[in-house]
């Protein structure tokens, strides 16, 4: 910021120094930069994504379909799709659709279905509830109790209420709790590879 004050005394008048042309400066600068960067380029590159919360959570849902075994009766046919149902507001946008696009699990094509109510649950294998009020969670869990349906939510104490997997954020990382017995009761088998991870907390239902 300049604050030239008017100056009243006369003296020498320096002349303007001609500037180098833009092109000459650009070329000179680029050359110096190339030399500097070349020294530093020997490291090998590996790509790393910069994901959003729900891109990561969508990936978790995708993985869960691989780490959980559904009973054969859950599928109408051996090549029937494995359906992920979203109940309530959809926080994923396109992320979940992208995550499952073109994927199959044991011959079952992965598809996403957005549900208006629990009445549309037929044919779903994984139910994602988002976060919801405890009373609503209880009513949904009661409604799906006998179905071979993997229930996943972000609601606090979801597993204590009888839900199977709760996704949550800790230090901006996505973690999860699991309720193995709730899965067993629904005829699902959660892989020990998933349950034995160090940061996974195993939780029992506190509700009959």
Partner 1 sequence: MSLALCGAGTSGQNVEPSTNAVLQQLKKLSLEELMELKVATVYAASKREQKTTEAPASVSIVTSDDIQKFGHRTLADVLRSVRGFYVTYDRSYSYIGVRGVSRPGDYGGRVLVLINGHRLNDPIYNEAFNGGEFPLDMDLVDRVEVVRGPGHSLYGDNAFLAVINVVPKTGAQVNGWEASTTAASYDTYSGRLSYGTRTKAGLEFLLSGTFLDSGGHDRLHYSEFADVNNGVAEHLDGETVKQLFAALSYHDFSLSGFFGERHKDVPTAEYEAVFNQGPNFNRDQRWGLEAKFERDLGDDWHLLSRLFLDRYEYRGAGPYESEDPADPWVLNRDLEETWFWGAEAEVSRTFFNHHQLALGVDFRHDPEVRQRNWDYYDPVVLNVDAQSPTHEVGVYLQDEFAVRTNLTLSAAVRYDYFSSFGSTVNPRAGVIYQPVRDTTLKFLYAQAFRSPNAYERDYTIAGYVGNPRLQPERNQSYELIWEQAVGRHWRTSASLFLHDMTDFITPVQDDLGNFTFANLDAVRSRGAEVEVEGRWARGLSTRFSYTFADVQERSPVTGPGTPANSPRHLAKAALSIPLYQEKIFASLELQGLSSRLTVQDDEMPGFVTANLTLFSRELIKNLEISASLYNVFDRRYRDPVAGDFRQPAIEQDGRTFRVKLTYRF
Interface of this chain with partner 1, residues 41 to 60, rule: CB under 8 A: 41, 43-56, 58-60
Residue 162 region by backbone torsions, left for phi larger than 0, else alpha for psi between -120 and 50, else beta = left
Counting residues that bind partner 1 (by CB under 8 A) gives 75
Q: Which is nearer to partner 1, 49 or 208 (CB)?
A: 49
The span from the CA of 28 to the CA of 23, in Å, is 8
* Helix, strand, coil % over all residues of the chain, rounded to 5: 30, 20, 50
The residue assigned the tokens 């959809």 is 90
The residue assigned the tokens 């499952």 is 100
Provide, rounded to whole angstroms, the least separation between the CB of residue 152 and partner 1. Answer: 14
Residue of 117, 169, 201, 207 that binds partner 1 (CB under 8 A): 169
- Under the binding rule (CB under 8 A), the answer on residue 202 touching partner 1 is no
Residue of 111, 174, 181, 187 that binds partner 1 (CB under 8 A): 174
The residue assigned the tokens 């004050």 is 5
Provide, rounded to whole angstroms, the least separation between the CB of residue 36 and partner 1. Answer: 7
Binding mask 100-139 for partner 1 (x = CB under 8 A): -x----------------------------xxx-------
Provide, rounded to whole angstroms, the least separation between the CB of residue 201 and partner 1. Answer: 12
Report whether 110 contacts 120 (CB < 8 A).
Answer: no
Report whether 107 contacts 130 (CB < 8 A).
Answer: no
């Amino acid at each position: 910021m300049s604050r030239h004050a008017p100056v009243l005394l006369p003296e020498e008048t320096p002349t303007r120094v001609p500037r180098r042309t833009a092109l000459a400066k650009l070329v000179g600068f680029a050359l110096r930069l190339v030399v500097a960067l070349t020294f530093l380029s020997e490291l090998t590159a590996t790509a790393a994504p910069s994901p959003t919360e729900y891109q990561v959570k969508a990936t978790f849902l995708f993985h869960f379909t691989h780490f959980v075994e559904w009973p054969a009766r859950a599928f109408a046919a051996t090549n029937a799709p494995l359906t992920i149902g979203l109940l309530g507001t959809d926080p994923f946008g396109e992320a979940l659709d992208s995550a499952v696009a073109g994927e199959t699990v044991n011959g079952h094509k992965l598809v996403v279905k957005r549900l208006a109510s629990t009445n549309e649950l037929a044919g779903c294998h994984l139910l994602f509830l988002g976060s919801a009020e405890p009373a609503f969670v209880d009513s949904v869990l009661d409604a799906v109790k006998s179905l071979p349906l993997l229930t996943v939510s972000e609601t606090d104490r979801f597993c204590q209420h009888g839900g199977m997997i709760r996704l949550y954020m800790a230090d901006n990382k996505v973690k999860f709790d699991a309720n193995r017995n709730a899965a067993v009761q629904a005829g699902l088998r959660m892989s020990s590879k998933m349950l034995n991870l160090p940061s996974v907390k195993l939780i029992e239902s506190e509700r009959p």
